[in-house]
Structure 1
Amino acid sequence: MTVRTNRGERRPSGPPGPPDPAVGTPEQFVADFFASFTRDVLGEEDVETVHDRYHTEDVVEVVDGNRLDRDRLVAHLRPVRRNLGDFSFDVHEAVRSGNRVAARFTVHGVVRGNPIDTEIAMFGEFTEDGRLRRSHQFTRTLTAAQD
């Protein structure tokens, strides 16, 4: 499943926020979660507000062994907003068991005008309303952006 969008694309109508995890396939949930979150991050709204809409207050993400809490995740979003251009997600597979999701997907982006592709394996725990509470992610850069 591929979700393609670009920086200039407007958010679909309807309330902002994460998709309902109980609706559709696990692949669709993962694609919709990351696409809508990224679109909102690139918008005009304060990044802390966007972050809190998609994550619990006590969120912890461990990415390649690095523990990121709310403050570190919000700090990461500011340069994303400045530097990310077009982006898309290819969700290769995803499974759901209750509030847990495991997924393998590729993020395609343009950073400061240069393409970057990153493969991600994620194990996540979501709330009933679709916010991310915990995740462990393992990444592999397929093509790197050039400075």
Structure 2
Amino acid sequence: MSRHTTIAAALTDLLFTPGLSLDEAADRHFAPDYRQRTDGRWDDRGGFLQHIAHLRTVVAEGGVDVLDELTDGRSYADRHTVRITKKDGGTVETEVYLFGEFAPDGRFRRAEETTLLLQGSPADRNLGTAR
């Protein structure tokens, strides 16, 4: 297997790198057959990219802190926090528990995650699946 991506690199490119197109960011880190389940909701790559496109209209800046990360062959697991400052000035911090699988080329093929809102309004609870 080639060198694999990480969730920090993927989220930084998707959400926090102005000027990088959504398609280019996605192609760097996610295989064509990518699927994701967030808090029980499954999306294919197209649905995931709709979600990220929406977040790009909401997020002004932010960052990712990886607290724990483990890879074993094609398996990936991590616990990370995402800090976001929204364009309306609100702030959100979410802790994410993620289990995933890499494609042979090192990009993510699948991710299953559960989120925990640490800071933000009750409306921000669904930011992980918002469209």
Q: Aligned pairs, how many?
A: 121
Q: Given that residues 85 and 110 in structure 1 are in contact (C-alpha distance below 8 angstroms), is that contact kept between their aligned partners in structure 2?
A: yes
d(CA) in 2 for partners of 1:105, 1:33: 13
Letter of the 2:80 counterpart? F
What does 1:1-147 align with in structure 2 at a 5 Å threshold?
20-21=3-4, 29-40=6-17, 42-45=18-21, 47-112=22-87, 113-145=89-121
1:88 deviates by 1.0
CA spacing shift, 1:102–1:44, aligned 2, 3 Å: closer
Provide the TM-score with structure 2 as the length reference: 0.79
1:44 deviates by 4.9
1:31 deviates by 2.6
Provide the TM-score with structure 1 as the length reference: 0.71
SS for the counterpart of 1:105 is strand
Q: Given that residues 76 and 100 in structure 2 are in contact (C-alpha distance below 8 angstroms), is that contact kept between their aligned partners in structure 1?
A: yes
1:49 deviates by 4.0
Q: Which segments of structure 1 move beyond 4 Å, counting only runs of 4 or more?
A: none
SS for the counterpart of 1:129 is coil
SS for the counterpart of 1:31 is helix
1:145 deviates by 4.7
| Structure 1: gaps (5+ residues) | 1-19, 23-28
